[in-house]
Amino acid sequence: MFNLLVASNNQHKIKEYQEMFSGYQVKIFSPKELGINVNPDENGETYEENSLIKARALAEFSKMPIIADDSGLNVVALNNFPGIHSSRFADSCGGNKYANPKLIEKLQGFSDKSAFFTCVITLLNVEEKPLVFKGICPGKILDKPEGEGGFGYDPIFYSDEAKQCFGSAPEEIKNKYSHRAKAMAQLIEYLKSKKLI
């Protein structure tokens, strides 16, 4: 069994990881389960930097293999806003219930609604240096939220590859095409190549 500490207490994210690792001998732990309470200042300028900040903060408390991810929604017409500030933008609006309509409003007057999700996963405590895996999911912003599924910006994001909104897509579809799924696929290939899983 490969034990893996995930740098998140977000239950949606933990569940996604568990689903993506299903079929492999992997046991996932959250910091909360191990009694670790750390909330680093994500002040990096890239997804890679923020992901590494989160992973290193946990590495102060555990020698277990750690994965941390940083992800966000990049809206092309808005100069890739909210990007690495996706979480903070949602929080500043009072949650995605309010952030999503605000983002749609910001896009009014733009014909280009294209956007892409980015996810960078950093793996620590396996090799001497951090390992980085990156996934990108292309799509566009819808004119109104759709579906009851997913979380975050999913209800306003239409995936070009899945050919549907992530808010109404079944979990298995989202877990095939999402930015996190793509980064995860690379991580899983690496762990398999090292015979860790």
**Which of 152, 142, 71, 154 is closest to 107 using CA atoms?**
142
Contact present, 113 and 140 (Cβ < 8 Å): yes
| CA distances, 77 to each of 102, 104, 129, 159 (Å) | 15, 12, 36, 17
C-beta separation of 82 from 75 below 8 A: yes
Among 41, 69, 70, 154, the one annotated catalytic: 70
> How far, in Å, CA of 157 to CA of 39, rounded?
28
E strands, the chain, in order? 2-6, 26-29, 66-75, 81-82, 114-124, 131-141, 157-159, 164-165
Would you call 69 a catalytic residue per the annotation? no
The residues that are catalytic are 70
